[in-house]
Amino acid sequence: MLEVSSNKNPMIKEVRSLYKKKNRWANKLFIIEGIKIIEEAIINQIEIKYILFSSSFIDSQEGKNFYYKIQDKAHIVKVKDSLFKSLSDTENPQGVMAVCQFNIRDLAEIESLSNPSIFFLDGLQDPGNMGTIIRTADAFKIDGIILGQGCVDPYNLKVVRSTMGSIFRVPLYSCHNSLETLADLKNKGFNILTATLEGEPIYNFDFKDKLVCIIGNEARGVNPKILHMANKSIKIPMPGDAESLNAAVAASIIMYELMKSRI
Amino acid sequence: MLEVSSNKNPMIKEVRSLYKKKNRWANKLFIIEGIKIIEEAIINQIEIKYILFSSSFIDSQEGKNFYYKIQDKAHIVKVKDSLFKSLSDTENPQGVMAVCQFNIRDLAEIESLSNPSIFFLDGLQDPGNMGTIIRTADAFKIDGIILGQGCVDPYNLKVVRSTMGSIFRVPLYSCHNSLETLADLKNKGFNILTATLEGEPIYNFDFKDKLVCIIGNEARGVNPKILHMANKSIKIPMPGDAESLNAAVAASIIMYELMKSRI
């Protein structure tokens, strides 16, 4: 097997370029790192462009086992240890990473779903929150997440890692114009739902109609123009003194009630 | 007002030392930074040892207003801009920070509460999760949080910031030996509750008796010896494919159901 040792190798240059959001979205490619998440990608039939093994990992027993298990799933390349380390995002790299295709879907697909419940993230900024929301959406079988304008990239390495594989399973949609996308969905009969302090207590809310639930930015909340577009509102009662919940917690509790209403 | 400009000033040395957990716990002191959280500390009657203003902030209109508002609440010190910046944890410091007392309470207090619901964190490691759990506990009026062995320090700056002031309100307890503390509470009639895949669906669980709910470490889950001690178990149904929820989300959903059972 060929061992790549040069920084100038086009594949190495591509991997390096994918640390930038702009390059990820131009090529619709992102990096995943570690055995477990690569296995998840394969199980979930994500298209893998290539898998890089560090020299010492592919020579180890664990590396050999993994290699034999996945060798027919993608193009495999051996990379000199020092070069691999320079590509890795972790302090103690396991010795394997892969480049795979985005699984962003076409917004038009939403219309064909039967009574879907979709979450719309309005400028969600924190990578941890993005990862947590994707993970909870997977656990509670939410029909999809639309990434509104100004969101942190779900394909950034920190987010991908924190989704624990859910990034491959939750239907993700992107949109260029949050207001237009929401107006369009509203025209098509979706309820636009927000959480406010004056809304209906969430446990009384009837989740049966198709809906888009808006989750706002961590600091600013929901954009006022989007808020204005909402035709339903719920509140999560907070008898204590905190002014608000963390955005990922609020989203998760709404997803949980939605899940309950379906079982 | 005296302006401190030397790195060797004992107060400056103390602030610097408080970036280390060991020193925070030896002195039961921690740092908070920014107008909003200092105001929260004052409202919640947290003992403030001193408040540092940067020279340029105290000379600004906003700084002056803040100074007049709080001058009788704590000892106030002016610090040279460059020195203040070197003490600050943020990239663009607002220009004000304070050193305040821990509000860790005595475990014995728990016995005097009427039917309390307490959360026990078993080796919770992620600062974001710790902050989120404290914030949700405040929102849903949980009776207390016990910090088990191996937890990230709730008084680290990142955690304090992410609690949005809830750190001052939620009753926090620390313990030296997780197993002993839990055995003791169990002897005193507390139910020890864990979330497992085989537990009772959470929405059927009767939260009315006094209980300690265990939240495990992000990677390892709950320590098997603690699991063995539990006499009640619930599950959060997950019809989707994710294997588990983020620890802070799981804790938040349990707190949410607990809050619901009380209203």
Residues B169/B136, Cβ–Cβ less than 8 Å: no
pLDDT at position A90: 87
Using a CB-CB cut-off of 8 Å, the residues of chain A touching B254 are: none
Instruction: List the structure tokens of B256.
Output: 């949410």
Q: Which helix (H) or strand (E) holds A251?
A: helix A247-262
Q: What is the ipTM of this complex?
A: 0.94
* For B248, nearest residue in chain A (alpha carbons): A249
Residues with Cβ within 8 Å of residue B52, at least 6 apart in sequence: B11, B15, B77, B78, B79, B84, B87, B96, B97, B98
Segments making up each domain of chain B, as ranges: 3-101, 104-262
For tokens 């309100």, name the residue.
B169
Q: Is the pLDDT of residue A194 over 90?
A: yes
Pull the structure tokens for residue B148. Answer: 């088990």
* Interval A10-52: pLDDT, tens: 999 999 999 999 999 999 999 999 999 999 999 999 999 999 9
Evaluate if residue B144 carries a pLDDT over 90: yes
On whether any CB of chain B is under 8 Å from the CB of A239, the answer is yes
pLDDT digits (tens, 9 = 90+) for B24-64: 999 999 999 999 999 999 999 999 999 999 999 999 999 99
Q: Are residues A141 and B237, on separate chains, in Cβ contact within 8 Å?
A: no
Rg of chain B on CA atoms, in Å: 21
**Which of B141, B249, B263 is opposite residue A249, by nearest beta carbon?**
B249
Mean pLDDT, chain B, integer: 95
What local confidence, expressed as pLDDT, does residue B90 receive? Answer: 87
CATH superfamily of A3-101: Ribosomal protein L30/S12 (3.30.1330.30)
Which chain A residue has the Cα nearest residue B130? A246
Mean pLDDT of A170-198: 96
Reply yes or no on whether the pLDDT at B120 is more than 90.
yes
* 3-state helix/strand/coil string of chain B: CCEECCCCCHHHHHHHHCCCHHHHHHHCEEEEECHHHHHHHHHCCCCEEEEEEEHHHHHCHHHHHHHHHHCCCCEEEEECHHHHHHHCCCCCCCCEEEEEECCEECHHHHHHCCCCEEEEECCCCCHHHHHHHHHHHHHCCCCEEEECCCCCCCCCHHHHHHCCCHHHCCCEEECCCHHHHHHHHHHCCCEEEEEEEEEEEHHHCCCCCCEEEEECECCCECCHHHHHHCCEEEECCCCCCCCCCCHHHHHHHHHHHHHHHHC
pLDDT band at B200 (very low <50, low <70, confident <90, very high): very high
Q: What is the mean pLDDT of residues A141-151?
A: 97
Q: What is the pLDDT at residue A14?
A: 97
Residue B254 has pLDDT above 90, yes or no: yes
Neighbour tally for B233: CB within 10 Å: 17
Q: Which of B138, B166, B239 sits opposite A259 (nearest CB)?
A: B239
CA B115 to chain centroid, in Å, comes to 22
Query: pLDDT band at A89, cuts 50/70/90?
Result: confident
Contact A30, A18 (CB under 8 A): yes
- Name the minimum distance, in Å, from the CA of B9 to any CA of chain A: 36
Q: What is the mean pLDDT of residues A186-206?
A: 95
Q: A98 near A15, Cβ under 8 Å?
A: no
Distances, alpha carbon B85 to alpha carbons A107, A262, B49, B131, B240, in Å:
47, 53, 20, 25, 48
CB of B135 less than 8 A from some CB of A: yes
Instruction: Report d(CA B137, CA B193) in Å as an integer.
Output: 17
Taking CA atoms, A157 is separated from A12, A18, B235, in Å, by: 17, 10, 30
- Does A263 contact B169 at a Cβ distance shorter than 8 Å? no
Mean pLDDT to the nearest integer, A217-244: 95
User: B2: pLDDT confidence band, cut at 50, 70 and 90?
Assistant: confident
* Strands of the B75-79 sheet, one edge to the other: B3-4, B75-79, B48-54, B96-101, B29-33
Q: pTM (2 decimals)?
A: 0.95
For residue B218, give the nearest of B128, B125, B151 by alpha carbon: B125
* Signed CA dihedral, A27, A28, A33, A34: sign only: negative
B65 within 8 A of B39, measured Cβ to Cβ: no
Interface residue A183 vs chain B (CB under 8 A): no
* pLDDT bracket for residue B89 (50, 70, 90): confident
- Among 3.40.50.300, 1.10.1740.10, 3.40.50.920, 3.40.1280.10, name the CATH number for the domain at B104-262: 3.40.1280.10
The reply to whether residue B139 touches residue A164, judged by beta carbons under 8 angstroms, is no
Residues of A in contact with B132 (CB under 8 A): 246, 248-249
Interface probe, candidates A129, A202, A241, A255, chain B, greatest B C-beta count within 10 A: A241
pLDDT at residue A1 in the model: 79
Q: What pLDDT, on the 0 to 100 scale, is given for residue A97?
A: 97
Kindly state whether B117 is in contact with chain A, defined as any CB-CB distance less than 8 angstroms. Answer: no
Q: Does A261 touch chain B (CB under 8 A)?
A: no
Tens digit of each residue's pLDDT (9 = 90 or more) over A119-137? 999 999 999 999 999 999 9
Nearest to B139 among A139, A164, A245 (CB): A245
> Phi/psi at B113 (nearest 5 deg)?
-80, 150
In this prediction, residue A65 carries a pLDDT of: 96
Is residue B218 within 8 angstroms of chain A, CB to CB? Answer: no
The closest alpha carbon to A230, from A261, A263, A185, belongs to: A185
Distance CA B260, CA A253 (A): 12
pLDDT at A193: 98
Q: Both tokens of residue A202? A: 């969430």
Structure confidence at residue B91 as a pLDDT band (50, 70, 90): confident
Question: Do the bridges between strand B172-174 and strand A48-54 make them parallel or antiparallel, or are there none, so unpaired?
Answer: unpaired
Instruction: Specify the pLDDT at position A197.
Output: 87
Q: Above 90 in pLDDT, residue A91?
A: no
**Could you say which of B139, B237, B249 has the minimum Cβ distance to residue A132?**
B249
Whether chain A has a CB inside 8 Å of the CB on B143: the answer is no
The dihedral over CA atoms of B230, A260, B220, B128, expressed in degrees to the nearest 10, equals -110
Distance CA A34, CA B226 (A): 30
